[in-house]
Amino acid sequence: MDLLSGNGLGVFIGVTLCVTGFAAYMTGQAVANTWKPVWHAVIYALLLGLVDRFLIYALFEGELLSPAGYAIDSAVLVAIALLAFRIAKVRRMVQQYPWLYARTGPFSWREKSPPRTDAH
């Protein structure tokens, strides 16, 4: 892990997963709750990857300009943001349109079938 990301596993867990991972999760939720497209969450997570590299550099003397470290950290942050986006989007759709959609799991919903009207 040290060779790829430019920092140790403890720093990766502490900074990338706990600190900026939390920020990525909240970002994904915020993007979904404001009805913005999913690519906004990806862009914000990539920017959080830059913040993550800076925090590792400033606090733990990690390598600032590590392309592999940025790629790994950013990939994790994008995954977290996309996960949060989907969870929030499903929750939002089911809560806002309960007559149209029903939750089928944490990541999906289905359209409710229309009520049957028998014309005689």
Reported as a single tens digit per residue, the pLDDT across 64-120 is: 888 888 999 999 999 999 999 999 999 998 888 888 888 888 888 888 877 666 665
pTM, entire model? 0.85
DSSP classification of residue 107: T
Reported as a single tens digit per residue, the pLDDT across 14-48 is: 889 999 999 999 999 999 999 999 999 999 999 99
How far CA 87 is from CA of 2, 33, 53, 100, in Å, comes to: 32, 10, 27, 18
- In the chain, helix, strand, coil percent, each to 5? 70, 10, 25
